[in-house]
Amino acid sequence: MNQPVSCLPVTATKMSKAKKVLDEARETQNREIDLVDKGISTFEELPGLLNMVFVTRITLSHNKLKTVPPGIANLINLEILNLSNNHLEELPLSLSSMPKLRILNCSINRLNTLPRGFGAFPVLEVLDLSYNNLTEKILPGNFFMMDSLRALYLGDNDFEFLPPEIKNLKNLQILGLRDNDLLELPREIGELTRIRELHIQNNRLTVLPPEISNLDLLGQKSVMKMEENPWVTAIAEQYLVGISHVLEYIKTEAYRILYNRYISAGKSGNLPPKVDKSKKASRARS
């Protein structure tokens, strides 16, 4: 027996799927809303969502959203917002005023800017901005004032340097910087004494600041990833033996002399080449 063919346009079908999820959540007062991979292009396909103030978690990953309306801040009880794998090119400033937001995932988008004042989140603990088009030049002045932050993921972007203000993230435990264009790390990174995971693989780093040896990166639950960098020979040789040997070596006076020499020369010397990222999905324009 032939199945009836729907005459609804595709957008209406998508909206009806999302609307069904929202209607059920309203009816049951479900505080966690799952809208993964529903083909959503705009918040207009989510009628009434921004009035559901009882919601604590929203997952909108794997959709086609280009913008997030400022009204998202109406959701004053929202704790977790997952916007990963969309087409976002910008975020509303109002996000950073949300009083209970603890986890914000904006990875795998097309962000090339952040709103001024973006660092004003009162209780944010996890921020994932990996796989976008961000650089140090677009970071708002208060970006590193999020003192509640425990995990910051900036991998797969276009950072060449990190501002020394990163030292203000006193509670940071995880720092993800892999797959950028980093040429050096600031010495102030050694002041982040709670860090237990540091991911700096696949950058353009040749030396490490000696202050990194202040961090506890050798504990049972600690992680340090540093492969795929054009390290100076002395560090490369120590790395072949193990991370612990690298961290011991950079404490030595001989290394401090080498480090200062390389940093001085790096300002005017030949820089390691950039990786071609023109085919990254985050470069696409829809």
Instruction: Please tell me what DSSP assigns to residue 119.
Output: G
Is residue 177 within 8 Å of 154, Cβ to Cβ? yes
Is residue 229 within 8 Å of 203, Cβ to Cβ? yes
CA 91 to chain centre: 13
User: In this predicted model, what pLDDT tens digit does every residue of 110-123 receive, in sequence order?
Assistant: 999 999 999 999 99
What fold characterizes domain 15-283?
3.80.10
- pLDDT above 80: residue 280: no
Model pLDDT, residue 230: 96
Kindly tell me the number of DSSP H helices and DSSP E strands found in the chain: 4, 9
Question: Measured between alpha carbons, how far is residue 28 from residues 22, 31, 113 in Å?
Answer: 10, 9, 38
Q: What percent of the chain has pLDDT over 70?
A: 90
Q: What percent of the chain has pLDDT over 90?
A: 84
C-alpha–C-alpha distance, residues 73 and 273, integer Å? 42
User: In this predicted model, what pLDDT tens digit does every residue of 183-209 receive, in sequence order?
Assistant: 999 999 999 999 999 999 999 999 999
> Can you tell me the mean pLDDT for 54-77?
97
> Can you tell me the mean pLDDT for 230-242?
96
pLDDT grade, residue 279 (50/70/90)?
Answer: low
User: In this predicted model, what pLDDT tens digit does every residue of 121-131 receive, in sequence order?
Assistant: 999 999 999 99
pLDDT grade, residue 8 (50/70/90)?
Answer: very low
C-alpha–C-alpha distance, residues 273 and 281, integer Å? 21
- pLDDT above 80: residue 275: no
- pLDDT above 70: residue 12: no
User: In this predicted model, what pLDDT tens digit does every residue of 133-179 receive, in sequence order?
Assistant: 999 999 999 999 999 999 999 999 999 999 999 999 999 999 999 99
pLDDT grade, residue 283 (50/70/90)?
Answer: low
Selected residue with higher pLDDT from 276 and 201: 201
pLDDT grade, residue 7 (50/70/90)?
Answer: very low
pLDDT grade, residue 61 (50/70/90)?
Answer: very high
